[in-house]
Structure formats: C-alpha cells, structure tokens
Amino acid sequence: MSRSVLWSIALAPILLAAPALADVLIDPPLVVREGNVDNAAVGVSVATAGDVNGDGFSDVLVGGQSFEGIVWCYYGSANPTFTTPDWTASGSVQNEWLVARPSTAGDLNADGYDDVVIGAPHYQNGEQNEGAVFVYLGSAAGLSPTPQVVIEGNVPIAGLGFGSSVDAAGDVNGDGYDDIVVGSSFYANGQSGEGRVSVYYGSSDGATATAAWSYESDVASANLGFRVAGIGDVNSDGYDDIAASAPYLSNGQTQEGRLYVFLGSPTGPPSTPSWTYESNNAFDEVGIGLGFAGDVNGDGYSDLVSDIGEFNVTNSGALVFFGSASGLSPTYDRRYSLGSGGFADVIYTAGDVNGDGCADIIASEQGVIGGTGEIWLFGGAENSGSALPILATRTGPQSGERFGWDARPAGDVNGDGFSDVIVGSPNYTNGSTNEGIVRLYLGQGSMPSDSQFFTEVGQQSAELYGAVLAQGDWNGDGFTDLAIGRPNWDFISENQGIVSVYYGSEAGYSLNSYWSAG
C-alpha cells in the first residue's frame, strides 16, 4: 500500500482542497544568465541540451549576440545555481554566430551522452551568408571543446543561410543513432526563397558531413525550413518523424503557409511529404511557430503543435494535431487562443511539467503588452476530449524586455521528476541596455485550488484536532482515506488522545468517521 503523510498543527477546522489544476511553475524563477553588457541580447535563443555529461540531470543552452555570437551550456544539478557556464562556444569572426540556433541533437553516436547542434545562418567561408551547422559531442566530462563536424551550406544565400533552424530528429531510419534536421529557409534552386530541409544521419563517429536526405518546396518565397522539428513517432511504427514549415507559402491564399511531415522508415524520410496542412486563409502564416508536442493526450502517439494567424488576428491561435496509427489527422484536433497577442512566436512541448504523465505545451509571444512578452503553458490530458487547460501564464517583469523571445523545455534540470521551462528576454535592461536575461522556471505537481470539499471541526476544547494527518487506502476500495489525530482528546482519561479515520469515495470524504481508536 502506498501512503503519503501530511502534517499540520491545527486549532482551526480541517480544510481539504478539491484536486484542481493550478499554477505549476515555481516562482521566483532561477536566473540562468544576465548579459551585463550593452546589446549582449542574452536569451535570443534558449534550449535544452539533453544530458550531455550523463549525470542524470538535464542541461540548458543559452545564446547571446556578442561580437561573434556565443552559446553557453549550464549543467543541471540537484540544486542548480548557474553562477558560471560549464561550456562556451562562439564564432571566430564578427557576426559569424549572430542569432545562433542551439539545440539538443539527441545521442548522435549512441555513446549514452547527448550531443548538441548549433545553427549559424550568418556563417561565411567563401559564400555570402551560406550558413553552417556545428556539432559538439557529449561525454562524461561534458561537451567537447571543438566541434565533431562543421557542415557548411556552400551556397550563397540572400537572407538567413543554412542552419536557420535546427533540431534533433530522433532516429528516422532505425539504425540506432539519432539524427539531426536542418532548415535553410532562404535556399534558392530555381525558385527564389523556396527553402530546403535536410537530414544528417548519426553514426559511431557522430553526425555525417553529407545530407542523407533533402527536400525543397519548389514554391517561390515559401521559406520552407523556417522551422524544423523532430516530432517523435506520430504513427508509432518505431521510426521517428520530422516536421517543417513554410509559413510564407501562397497556394490560392497569400501567405497562408503550409506544414509538412515526413514519416521515418528503414530508408529514412520519403521523397514526398507524408502529410501537409494549409490554413486556406490569407496571411495566417501557419508555422511561424512549430514544434514537437510530445504525447499530449496520452494515447501513445506523438503529436504536433503549430501557431496560426501571425498577421491575421481574427484567425489566430495555436493548433494541435494528434498522432495515430495512420499518422496525423488532416485537420487540427485542438485550437486555442493565446490571449492578447493571439499567436505564438515559439510553440513547443514543455515536457511533463506537472508530472501527470501527459506532455504539456509552452507557447510564447514576445511582442504583446508593448513588447513586454508573455508565455502560456497548456496542460496535457489523457484521452483529451475537450480543450487542454492552461496550467500557467507569465508576463515579462520589465516593459519592453521581449520576454519569451525564445521559450523552450529545459528538461528536468534539478532531477525532481518534473520538467522545467527556460525563457529568454534579449531586450532586458538592468544597468546595461538590451543586455538580456534568461530565466528558468522549475516545474512542480498540480497544487490544489482554494475550493473545499471536506470541512470538519474539533468537538472538545484544546483537543488539537488535526495536529497529525495521514492518507492511504485502508479499506482497499481504490479511494484515498483520511486519518486525523486528536492528541488531547479526553476519553476515559484526560488527554488520552484519539485517531479518527474517514473513508474516501467517489463523492469525497464522508462527514462521519468509520473508525476511531484511542
């Protein structure tokens, strides 16, 4: 029998709260890093690194816009302090790593340590804005000081180059090595700004230097690869799948946008999309925010989440597509408003923040409230047949700080069993203009609301009714029962004490005790 013991010193009535969803993010957040230099823009990118040193704690990545561009990694621990970064990497010349995109890469070489991929879309080495991707391997000592491989775009780009978005793809071909997916949203090959998505397989050495698979949109100005995401296994066939967005694609409606999903297989992703979705409304720009949702409804299939309505506020919100044995449904399964901003710049799984076994979703919009910014945390729900609840919201503490410019799952940084959330605010100012700040919100289980379903008061003066409480299922009916201690109860002798047990039921606790002992 599993039991949890609660304690209280109570001279007042016993009040037990009905279980209800409430805020699951712990305040105040931990400050991971503050810029302390003008225009450092710390927090322009944030991400989980996975567990790069194999200590059982998730690690976090933070990007900043220094002279060359820079990325820091902070290792998790039972009591994270984040005083100094555990690992640092940067570009070698001015702006080389400007708006660098860090992400976990999964375990590319299957050595038991997670690895990191960093997209540098402004990288140049012979070609204008060709972009590059840097891969760093994890180990017992942490991340390697030098990249395992640097993959260059090798094509001049009029805009953000290769590596404009990157993500862990999972294992798309089932060879036992995790893979990475890379977007090049301004890539042109017959169509200006059509965009391209590429997958690089993992191996015993790490990431391969040559793309194993690529797909181009063949639609001018579609910007395919604006967002890419490894989305888990949406059809539960044992192969991980990938998604990408082309938010500026026009196909009957101007800039309606299109989402693409490519299912994994023994030969990797297919040559044509396995699934697509278009909004069919002008300027929806679906896919500005796109991400892995995790298993939101607890059915065993991974799900997909996207924003919609970037410049069409009458049709704005967040879309959730549930996975199934046949893949994703042709239309969205859930749609949510995101408050005053209406749309999400970033939307992704938050992991399981409240520990209920279902994945939660984080969405952010850094432009709302005069640029203060806001995040929303939606709770997953098993076999969800209705709207997912909002578990928490946060707005930036400082006007104009762009809170939520990037907001991502942090993994379980402190190892308490609850997923955590990391949020970047690159325009935060505290002595240095636009120095930026990154905050980590630790997750916690759902706390009870203030509504009460059981109230009981003591019957004798100074009996200390409720001095000790305990819960368990003592009659084996599947409902939690409650024991209440009354140490100063006068029975045969003075202050003899008594314990009363109230059996639980579907309706709650009975107002009459079923057993007492003194």
Residue 452 pLDDT: 35
pLDDT in tens, 501-513: 666 654 444 545 4
Residue 211 pLDDT: 98
In degrees and rounded to multiples of 5, residue 178 shows phi and psi of -70, 155
513-517 mean pLDDT: 47
Residue 308 pLDDT: 85
- The Cα 345–Cα 306 span in angstroms is 10
Selection from 282, 304, 285, 283 nearest residue 295 by Cα: 304
C-alpha pair distances (Å), 441 with each of 79, 367, 376, 394? 13, 21, 13, 10
102-110 mean pLDDT: 98
Residue 68 pLDDT: 83
Residue 361 pLDDT: 93
Selection from 236, 190, 180, 188 nearest residue 213 by Cα: 180
- Residue 433 is encoded by which pair of tokens? 């203009």
**Residue with token string 């059915």:** 299
C-alpha pair distances (Å), 113 with each of 49, 141, 332? 10, 10, 36
Residue 277 pLDDT: 98
Question: For residue 312, what pLDDT band results from cuts at 50, 70 and 90?
Answer: low
Judged by phi (left if over 0) then psi (alpha if -120 to 50, else beta), residue 141 lies in alpha
DSSP string of 55-108, one letter each residue = SSS-EEEEEE--SS-EEEEE---SS---SS-SEEEE-SSTTTTTT-EEEEEE-T
Radius of gyration of the chain measured on its C-alpha atoms:
26
What's the gap between Cα 326 and its chain centre? 25
Residue 487 pLDDT: 62
In degrees and rounded to multiples of 5, residue 484 shows phi and psi of -120, 125
Residue 499 pLDDT: 63
Question: For residue 3, what pLDDT band results from cuts at 50, 70 and 90?
Answer: very low
Say yes or no to pLDDT of 292 above 80.
Answer: yes
Q: Are 187 and 194 in contact (CB under 8 A)?
A: yes
Q: Are 427 and 41 in contact (CB under 8 A)?
A: yes
Hey, what CATH class is 30-441 in?
mainly beta
Higher pLDDT, 68 or 244: 244
Per DSSP (E only), the strands in 309-386 are 317-321, 334-336, 346-351, 360-365, 374-378
Say yes or no to pLDDT of 223 above 90.
Answer: yes
Q: Are 168 and 198 in contact (CB under 8 A)?
A: no
- The Cα 509–Cα 477 span in angstroms is 13
Higher pLDDT, 516 or 270: 270
Alpha-carbon torsion angle 103, 107, 111, 113, nearest 10: 40
C-alpha pair distances (Å), 283 with each of 259, 260, 288, 337? 14, 18, 11, 17
Selection from 494, 491, 493, 495 nearest residue 464 by Cα: 495
Residues 188, 191, 195, 201, CA torsion sign: negative
Higher pLDDT, 331 or 450: 331
Question: For residue 365, what pLDDT band results from cuts at 50, 70 and 90?
Answer: confident
- Residue 43, burial from CB neighbour count under 10 angstroms (0-12, 13-18, 19+): buried
- Residue 281 is encoded by which pair of tokens? 């409304």
Q: Count of CB atoms within 10 A of residue 154's CB?
A: 13
- The Cα 428–Cα 410 span in angstroms is 20
Report H helices in 155-232.
none
pLDDT in tens, 322-342: 999 999 999 999 887 765 555
- The Cα 260–Cα 219 span in angstroms is 14
Of these ranges, 32-46, 68-82, 132-146, 389-403, the one predicted with the greatest mean pLDDT is 132-146
- Residue 43 is encoded by which pair of tokens? 């927090």
Enumerate the CATH 2.130.10.130 domain ranges in the chain, comma separated: 30-441
Selection from 408, 470, 1, 418 nearest residue 227 by Cα: 408
254-259 mean pLDDT: 96
41-51 mean pLDDT: 93
Q: Count of CB atoms within 10 A of residue 85's CB?
A: 17
Residues 165, 99, 47, 259, CA torsion sign: negative
Say yes or no to pLDDT of 5 above 70.
Answer: no
pLDDT in tens, 294-308: 999 999 999 999 998
Residue 202 pLDDT: 99
pLDDT in tens, 140-178: 999 999 999 999 999 888 777 899 999 999 999 999 999
pLDDT in tens, 62-82: 999 876 889 999 999 999 988
Residue 99 pLDDT: 72
- 81 contact partners, CB below 8 Å, separation of at least 6: none
Higher pLDDT, 20 or 80: 80
Mean per-residue pLDDT of the chain: 83
